[in-house]
Structure 1
Amino acid sequence: MRFFRFDAEVRRMIERFGSRKVGVSRIVRSEGLFQAGCMHFDPGGVIGFHPAGVNQLFLVVSGSGWVRDETDRVPIRAGEAVFWEAGEGHESGTETGMTAIVIEGPGLNPDEWMPPLKDR
Protein backbone atom coordinates (compact mmCIF):
# COMPACT_ATOMS: atom_id res chain seq x y z
CA MET A 1 0.00 0.00 0.00
CA ARG A 2 1.26 3.49 -0.89
CA PHE A 3 -0.15 6.87 0.15
CA PHE A 4 -0.24 10.09 -1.86
CA ARG A 5 -1.30 13.72 -1.40
CA PHE A 6 -3.57 15.95 -3.45
CA ASP A 7 -4.42 18.61 -0.86
CA ALA A 8 -4.04 22.36 -1.35
CA GLU A 9 -0.52 22.40 0.11
CA VAL A 10 0.85 20.47 -2.89
CA ARG A 11 -1.08 22.35 -5.57
CA ARG A 12 0.51 24.21 -8.47
CA MET A 13 -0.97 27.69 -8.78
CA ILE A 14 -2.66 28.51 -12.09
CA GLU A 15 -2.00 31.91 -13.62
CA ARG A 16 -2.99 31.41 -17.29
CA PHE A 17 -6.07 33.16 -18.67
CA GLY A 18 -6.01 35.76 -15.88
CA SER A 19 -6.65 33.10 -13.24
CA ARG A 20 -6.07 33.92 -9.58
CA LYS A 21 -6.19 32.25 -6.16
CA VAL A 22 -6.59 28.73 -7.59
CA GLY A 23 -4.27 25.79 -8.08
CA VAL A 24 -4.33 22.18 -9.14
CA SER A 25 -2.98 19.03 -7.53
CA ARG A 26 -2.47 16.43 -10.24
CA ILE A 27 -4.03 13.06 -9.55
CA VAL A 28 -3.39 10.95 -12.65
CA ARG A 29 -2.40 11.28 -16.29
CA SER A 30 -2.58 8.55 -18.91
CA GLU A 31 -0.30 8.96 -21.92
CA GLY A 32 -2.39 11.81 -23.32
CA LEU A 33 -5.67 9.86 -23.16
CA PHE A 34 -7.02 11.44 -20.01
CA GLN A 35 -5.96 13.26 -16.87
CA ALA A 36 -7.51 14.14 -13.53
CA GLY A 37 -6.68 16.76 -10.96
CA CYS A 38 -8.04 18.39 -7.84
CA MET A 39 -8.64 22.14 -8.18
CA HIS A 40 -8.40 24.16 -4.97
CA PHE A 41 -10.09 27.57 -5.17
CA ASP A 42 -9.31 30.00 -2.37
CA PRO A 43 -12.01 32.59 -1.59
CA GLY A 44 -12.19 34.91 -4.59
CA GLY A 45 -10.51 32.31 -6.83
CA VAL A 46 -11.16 32.29 -10.58
CA ILE A 47 -10.05 30.21 -13.54
CA GLY A 48 -10.23 32.79 -16.33
CA PHE A 49 -12.29 32.35 -19.48
CA HIS A 50 -10.68 29.96 -21.99
CA PRO A 51 -11.62 27.18 -24.43
CA ALA A 52 -11.57 23.60 -23.18
CA GLY A 53 -8.63 21.77 -24.72
CA VAL A 54 -10.51 18.45 -24.57
CA ASN A 55 -13.80 17.29 -23.05
CA GLN A 56 -13.81 18.27 -19.38
CA LEU A 57 -15.92 17.19 -16.41
CA PHE A 58 -15.81 19.54 -13.37
CA LEU A 59 -17.12 17.87 -10.19
CA VAL A 60 -17.54 20.10 -7.12
CA VAL A 61 -16.71 18.11 -3.98
CA SER A 62 -16.77 20.89 -1.39
CA GLY A 63 -17.82 24.51 -1.17
CA SER A 64 -19.69 26.38 -3.85
CA GLY A 65 -19.13 28.83 -6.66
CA TRP A 66 -20.17 29.52 -10.21
CA VAL A 67 -19.44 28.46 -13.78
CA ARG A 68 -20.17 30.14 -17.06
CA ASP A 69 -19.90 29.59 -20.77
CA GLU A 70 -20.39 32.46 -23.20
CA THR A 71 -23.34 33.76 -21.14
CA ASP A 72 -24.26 34.30 -17.50
CA ARG A 73 -22.75 32.79 -14.37
CA VAL A 74 -24.60 29.75 -13.04
CA PRO A 75 -24.28 28.71 -9.37
CA ILE A 76 -22.73 25.32 -8.62
CA ARG A 77 -22.18 23.53 -5.30
CA ALA A 78 -20.84 20.32 -3.77
CA GLY A 79 -22.39 17.24 -5.36
CA GLU A 80 -22.96 18.95 -8.72
CA ALA A 81 -20.95 18.74 -11.93
CA VAL A 82 -20.68 20.55 -15.24
CA PHE A 83 -19.38 19.24 -18.56
CA TRP A 84 -17.68 21.27 -21.27
CA GLU A 85 -16.93 19.87 -24.71
CA ALA A 86 -13.59 20.43 -26.42
CA GLY A 87 -13.38 23.99 -27.72
CA GLU A 88 -16.21 25.28 -25.53
CA GLY A 89 -15.32 28.54 -23.76
CA HIS A 90 -15.78 28.47 -20.00
CA GLU A 91 -14.82 30.07 -16.68
CA SER A 92 -15.27 29.08 -13.03
CA GLY A 93 -14.87 30.78 -9.69
CA THR A 94 -16.00 31.24 -6.12
CA GLU A 95 -16.46 33.94 -3.54
CA THR A 96 -16.13 31.61 -0.52
CA GLY A 97 -13.89 28.72 -1.60
CA MET A 98 -14.44 25.54 -3.58
CA THR A 99 -12.73 22.22 -4.34
CA ALA A 100 -13.41 20.35 -7.57
CA ILE A 101 -12.13 17.21 -9.24
CA VAL A 102 -11.51 17.81 -12.95
CA ILE A 103 -11.38 14.90 -15.39
CA GLU A 104 -10.28 15.61 -18.96
CA GLY A 105 -10.11 13.41 -22.02
CA PRO A 106 -11.15 13.23 -25.66
CA GLY A 107 -13.66 10.38 -25.25
CA LEU A 108 -15.20 11.61 -22.01
CA ASN A 109 -19.03 11.61 -22.09
CA PRO A 110 -20.89 11.77 -18.75
CA ASP A 111 -24.29 11.45 -20.46
CA GLU A 112 -23.78 7.68 -20.45
CA TRP A 113 -23.43 7.29 -16.67
CA MET A 114 -24.30 10.43 -14.71
CA PRO A 115 -27.86 11.54 -13.90
CA PRO A 116 -28.62 15.07 -15.14
CA LEU A 117 -29.32 17.95 -12.78
CA LYS A 118 -33.05 18.47 -13.30
CA ASP A 119 -33.24 22.23 -12.68
CA ARG A 120 -30.58 23.23 -15.26
Structure 2
Amino acid sequence: MKIYKFGKKHGKKVEKYQSNLATYVKMIQTNQAATIGYMYIDGEGTVGYHEAPIPQLFIVVEGEGWVTGEDQKRISIKRGEAALWEKGEWHTSGSETGMAAIVIQSEELNPETFMERKKHA
Protein backbone atom coordinates (compact mmCIF):
# COMPACT_ATOMS: atom_id res chain seq x y z
CA MET A 1 0.00 0.00 0.00
CA LYS A 2 1.19 3.52 -0.81
CA ILE A 3 -0.11 6.74 0.75
CA TYR A 4 -0.22 10.05 -1.19
CA LYS A 5 -0.95 13.67 -0.27
CA PHE A 6 -3.18 15.96 -2.31
CA GLY A 7 -3.68 18.96 -0.04
CA LYS A 8 -4.14 22.44 -1.43
CA LYS A 9 -0.41 23.15 -1.19
CA HIS A 10 0.21 20.32 -3.68
CA GLY A 11 -1.88 21.97 -6.38
CA LYS A 12 -1.49 24.78 -8.88
CA LYS A 13 -3.35 28.05 -8.94
CA VAL A 14 -6.05 28.23 -11.58
CA GLU A 15 -5.24 31.35 -13.56
CA LYS A 16 -7.30 30.82 -16.72
CA TYR A 17 -10.93 31.82 -17.21
CA GLN A 18 -10.67 34.89 -14.95
CA SER A 19 -10.34 32.53 -11.99
CA ASN A 20 -9.71 33.83 -8.50
CA LEU A 21 -8.55 32.00 -5.37
CA ALA A 22 -8.84 28.53 -6.94
CA THR A 23 -6.39 25.64 -6.77
CA TYR A 24 -6.43 22.44 -8.83
CA VAL A 25 -4.69 19.25 -7.74
CA LYS A 26 -4.36 16.73 -10.57
CA MET A 27 -4.58 13.20 -9.21
CA ILE A 28 -5.05 10.58 -11.92
CA GLN A 29 -5.16 10.30 -15.67
CA THR A 30 -6.19 7.03 -17.30
CA ASN A 31 -6.32 5.80 -20.85
CA GLN A 32 -8.26 2.70 -19.83
CA ALA A 33 -11.74 2.46 -18.38
CA ALA A 34 -12.13 3.58 -14.78
CA THR A 35 -14.94 3.47 -12.25
CA ILE A 36 -15.31 6.32 -9.79
CA GLY A 37 -17.42 6.13 -6.66
CA TYR A 38 -17.98 7.88 -3.36
CA MET A 39 -17.74 5.85 -0.14
CA TYR A 40 -19.14 6.79 3.26
CA ILE A 41 -17.76 5.04 6.34
CA ASP A 42 -19.75 5.96 9.43
CA GLY A 43 -18.21 6.31 12.89
CA GLU A 44 -17.07 2.88 14.15
CA GLY A 45 -17.52 1.63 10.56
CA THR A 46 -15.24 -0.61 8.53
CA VAL A 47 -14.88 -1.98 5.05
CA GLY A 48 -13.94 -5.63 5.59
CA TYR A 49 -10.62 -7.21 4.70
CA HIS A 50 -10.69 -8.09 1.00
CA GLU A 51 -8.55 -8.45 -2.10
CA ALA A 52 -8.44 -5.59 -4.62
CA PRO A 53 -9.79 -6.98 -7.91
CA ILE A 54 -7.99 -4.18 -9.77
CA PRO A 55 -5.85 -1.23 -8.56
CA GLN A 56 -7.85 1.05 -6.25
CA LEU A 57 -7.17 4.64 -5.22
CA PHE A 58 -8.98 5.64 -1.98
CA ILE A 59 -9.05 9.46 -1.77
CA VAL A 60 -10.17 10.81 1.62
CA VAL A 61 -12.21 13.99 1.17
CA GLU A 62 -13.87 14.25 4.59
CA GLY A 63 -13.01 13.08 8.08
CA GLU A 64 -10.28 10.70 9.06
CA GLY A 65 -9.71 7.04 9.75
CA TRP A 66 -7.27 4.26 8.95
CA VAL A 67 -6.28 1.91 6.15
CA THR A 68 -4.29 -1.30 6.07
CA GLY A 69 -2.38 -3.34 3.55
CA GLU A 70 -1.75 -7.06 3.66
CA ASP A 71 0.08 -6.77 7.00
CA GLN A 72 -3.17 -5.41 8.53
CA LYS A 73 -1.17 -2.67 10.30
CA ARG A 74 -3.43 0.38 10.66
CA ILE A 75 -2.09 3.57 9.11
CA SER A 76 -3.89 6.82 9.89
CA ILE A 77 -5.35 8.65 6.91
CA LYS A 78 -7.20 11.95 6.72
CA ARG A 79 -8.67 14.48 4.31
CA GLY A 80 -6.04 15.44 1.76
CA GLU A 81 -4.46 11.96 1.66
CA ALA A 82 -5.03 8.91 -0.54
CA ALA A 83 -4.19 5.21 -0.34
CA LEU A 84 -3.36 3.07 -3.37
CA TRP A 85 -3.88 -0.69 -3.31
CA GLU A 86 -2.46 -2.72 -6.16
CA LYS A 87 -4.39 -5.50 -7.91
CA GLY A 88 -4.46 -8.56 -5.65
CA GLU A 89 -3.48 -6.64 -2.51
CA TRP A 90 -5.53 -7.51 0.58
CA HIS A 91 -6.67 -4.49 2.58
CA THR A 92 -9.29 -2.91 4.81
CA SER A 93 -10.29 0.57 6.00
CA GLY A 94 -12.32 2.11 8.77
CA SER A 95 -12.98 5.09 10.98
CA GLU A 96 -13.85 5.78 14.60
CA THR A 97 -15.46 9.15 13.81
CA GLY A 98 -16.54 8.86 10.16
CA MET A 99 -14.82 9.33 6.83
CA ALA A 100 -15.80 9.84 3.20
CA ALA A 101 -13.66 8.96 0.20
CA ILE A 102 -13.71 8.98 -3.57
CA VAL A 103 -12.70 5.56 -4.87
CA ILE A 104 -11.17 5.23 -8.33
CA GLN A 105 -10.64 1.75 -9.77
CA SER A 106 -8.79 1.10 -13.00
CA GLU A 107 -6.21 -1.28 -14.43
CA GLU A 108 -4.12 1.84 -15.03
CA LEU A 109 -3.53 3.98 -11.93
CA ASN A 110 -0.28 5.89 -11.50
CA PRO A 111 -0.87 8.57 -8.84
CA GLU A 112 2.87 9.13 -8.40
CA THR A 113 2.74 10.96 -11.74
CA PHE A 114 0.88 13.82 -10.06
CA MET A 115 0.85 13.35 -6.28
CA GLU A 116 3.56 13.38 -3.63
CA ARG A 117 4.09 10.18 -1.69
CA LYS A 118 3.54 10.44 2.08
CA LYS A 119 6.33 9.20 4.29
CA HIS A 120 5.17 6.96 7.12
CA ALA A 121 6.73 4.54 9.57
On whether the aligned pair clears a TM of 0.5, the verdict is yes
Bigger radius of gyration among the two: 2
Q: Deviations over 1:14-60 (max 9, x none)?
A: xxxxxxxxxxxxxxxxxx82100010111111100001011110010
Tell me the TM-score normalised to structure 1 length: 0.70
Larger relative contact order, structure 1 or 2 (CA cutoff 8 Å, min sep 6): 2
Q: Find the counterpart in structure 2 of residue 42 from structure 1.
A: 42
Q: Deviations over 1:66-95 (max 9, x none)?
A: 000122111111101110110000000001
Tell me the TM-score normalised to structure 2 length: 0.70
User: Structure 1, unaligned stretches of length 5 or more?
Assistant: 1-31
After superposition, residues 34-113 of structure 1 pair within 5 angstroms as 34-71=34-71, 72-113=73-114
- Give SS of 1:50's match: strand
Give RMSD over aligned pairs: 1.3
User: Structure 2, unaligned stretches of length 5 or more?
Assistant: 1-31
